[in-house]
Amino acid sequence: MLASAGAGLLLAGVGALVMRQRLWWATWALWGAGAAALTAAAALRPRQALAFLRGRGVRYGSNTALLVMLAVAIAALVNYVANRHHKRFDLTRTQANTLSPQTRKILGGVKQPLKMIAFYRQGSGEFQEMRDLLSEYQYASPRVKTQMIDPDVNPALARQYGVTSYSTTIVEAGGQKQELSVATEQEITTAVLKLTRARKKKTYFIQGSGEHDPDSPEPDGFSTAREALVALNYQVQKLPLPTQVPGDCDVLVIAGPRSEFDPREEDAVRRYLDGGGKALIMVDPEAQKGVSLASLLEPWGVKPLPDVVVEPSLNFFGDAASVTVMDFAYHDITRPFIRGRALLAVFIMVRAFELTQHPGLNVEDLIRTSADSWLEGSFKGTISRRAGERRGPLTIAAVVTGALSGAAAPEPQQPTARLVVFGDSDFAANGVIANGVNKDLFVNSVGWLAESEELISIQPKGPQPSPVLLTEMQQRLVFLIALVAMPLVPLVVGAVVWWRRR
């Protein structure tokens, strides 16, 4: 009886420990009492105790106990290491459960503590979805602390933050806060940018020569591109054809002019670039009623060619005048696409450029077409290769850094000029920008020009369907296996068994 009581006391101590009670003295008291009871039992009946200890059951039991203790120790060690060096794996095809590279890069540049508090009704589907999303932010940066609050359970905290409705998220940093009623990854990351960036970068869209309108929701408008910039905390403004570019301009956008600038307007842009300005210039081919801005671009080593690039092997929906690009030159703008693989950009009627190196400038290819492309000299809706037409690869986008020789010298702390030039403006228009990485290509170009490297990446994507596309042969194979072979096999096996038992 005394030995049984001792064993029971030891088990009770283990139970108290497993229950994680903070009364450690009770656990130790139970273990002490159990050990004392077993010791007393052994002292009172030493022969029986010695025989018990020499028994087969004790040997097997002790071996089992040692193995269990070893397994528990290994599990505890693995858990300890994993808790301090944890790693997650997202096995979905679109990485749907992982923050975008852009968000992770932004969080990596944050130097101050961030707090995210989500007020959701506990037990709802939204509560779990938001918890999963916020856990990704906390996992991505040690500076991020998150908290899920049910306003019904903790109304005092909800009143403290002025929260009056469910599904509200508060992002805090540096004594300031942003309140979000729609807390997607895009919205939360935008709030982080607003709270942590010193100031908004200003982007001006030149207007007055038939350029795309950044406020227009029409297919040829740039409202989607503008919204993408605003979401990243850029300030976007229209700029009527200037005689002087504002001094607070971080990036100047010239989006597909339909008429040449007059000398005063062109001189204003030239002086801006000579002084270390940054410009995104998109010029369409003449076949699309575009203008080349050759007098502005050629001094920077970029000569626009007049003809239309045709790409019979890599085109969009069978239109040879469209160009689909999957091979990007290695540059900060395109690096995320190269890493992402199988990503493409789509251009609708594009011109090519001839690049020339000038003293003080670094002129680079950004995007080139395939070797099967060529310049169609007389494009009228149909194509045919003629002798003498320039063949690919052809440069349809270029980047330039540096300062012109003899140009007005930049201020000592002012960076040198940067240009990104595209031979098409429609790739960023509302009707086309959703294709491939077009939006990322536009946003990354502005980010590189504005020297906001943390914004150069692939933007968060919404849920994407994952259809199963089968060839005709694969469809027949699935039909034969599912509707013919699988029902037939049991019948054949049953028939064989019946025949053998006759």
100/90 Cα distance (integer angstroms): 12
pLDDT digit string, tens, across residues 120-157: 998 888 888 889 889 888 888 888 999 999 998 898 88
Residue 181 above 60 pLDDT?
A: yes
User: Looking at the DSSP assignment, which residues form a beta bridge with residue 213?
Assistant: none
144/54 Cα distance (integer angstroms): 58
Q: Which of 251, 228, 231, 191 is nearest to 440 (CA)?
A: 228
pLDDT digit string, tens, across residues 147-157: 999 998 898 88
Pairing type for strands 395-402 and 417-422 reads antiparallel
**Which region holds residue 2: left if phi is over 0, alpha if psi is between -120 and 50, else beta?**
alpha
pLDDT digit string, tens, across residues 470-481: 666 777 788 778
Residue 272 above 90 pLDDT?
A: yes
Residue 284 above 70 pLDDT?
A: yes
Pairing type for strands 345-348 and 322-325 reads antiparallel
Judge if pTM exceeds 0.75: no
| Mean local confidence (pLDDT), 46-71 | 64
Structure tokens at 394: 């052809």
| Mean local confidence (pLDDT), 240-263 | 90
**DSSP states of 368-415 as a string?**
E--TT-EEETT-SS-----TTPPBSS-EEEEEEEE--TTSPPPPTTSP
Cβ-based neighbour number of residue 376 at 10 Å: 22
Structure tokens at 197: 């960036």
* Average pLDDT score over the chain: 80
Please state, in angstroms and as integers, the Cα–Cα distance from residue 84 to each residue in 81, 142, 358, following that order. Answer: 5, 12, 53
The number of residues making up the chain comes to: 502
